[in-house]
Structure 1
Amino acid sequence: MAERRVTVGWPEGLHARPAAVFVRAAASSGVPVTVAGPGGEPVNAASVLSVLGLGVEGGQEIVLASGADGADAALDRLAKLVSEGLDELPGAV
């Protein structure tokens, strides 16, 4: 199981637009990914309702995880997106 702990770089946290950006990136990563907020249970990172339900604020740490082949590369890309508060992944179409 690959795992990344990352601090959320979006000031507003994983709410509204940032959550949609994150979910779209997770869904297109090619591997199943879970995300857990501080002290919370992991949820499907490709589900906008699940991600919004975490209530993660800017500056809080989340845990991204996946046990699939290719997980390391996918988690690295998602961690960069989240930590830098980007509007999309570099190189995304």
Structure 2
Amino acid sequence: MVREKVTIISKEGLHARPADTLIRLANQYASKIEIVCGEDKTINAKSILHVLGAGINCGAEVEVVCEGEDEQEASKRIVQAIKEGLDE
């Protein structure tokens, strides 16, 4: 399991286009990929309903958690994409 904290810099947070970018990227990997926001909310990063429903705003610190056969690559690419603003 790989865990890494990152801050959401997209002006829209994880809404609309940034959420779609995240989900498309996450679905390229076989690993289970989750976003932990706060102390009690864990969402499936491969589900548009979960990501949009979480209401994660710009400036929020989240933790990307990847578990599976390609967890290292998945974590690296997803964290990098979030740091770059998810194609903003």
Aligned to 2:48: 48
Aligned to 1:91: none
Work out the CA distance in 2 between the residues paired with 1:41 and 1:68: 21
Q: Shift in Å at residue 70 of structure 1?
A: 1.9
| Residue 33 (1) aligns with residue 29 (2) | no
Q: Which runs of 5+ in 1 are unaligned?
A: 89-93
Q: Which runs of 5+ in 2 are unaligned?
A: none
- Give the SS at the match of 1:34: strand
Check conservation: 1:35, 1:43, Cα contact below 8 A. Answer: yes
- Give the SS at the match of 1:42: strand
Q: Which runs of 4+ in 1 moved over 3 A?
A: none
Check conservation: 2:30, 2:68, Cα contact below 8 A. Answer: no
TM-score by length of structure 1 reads 0.85
Q: Shift in Å at residue 40 of structure 1?
A: 3.5
Q: Which has the higher strand share?
A: 2
Q: 2:31 is aligned with what amino acid?
A: V
Q: 2:60 is aligned with what amino acid?
A: Q
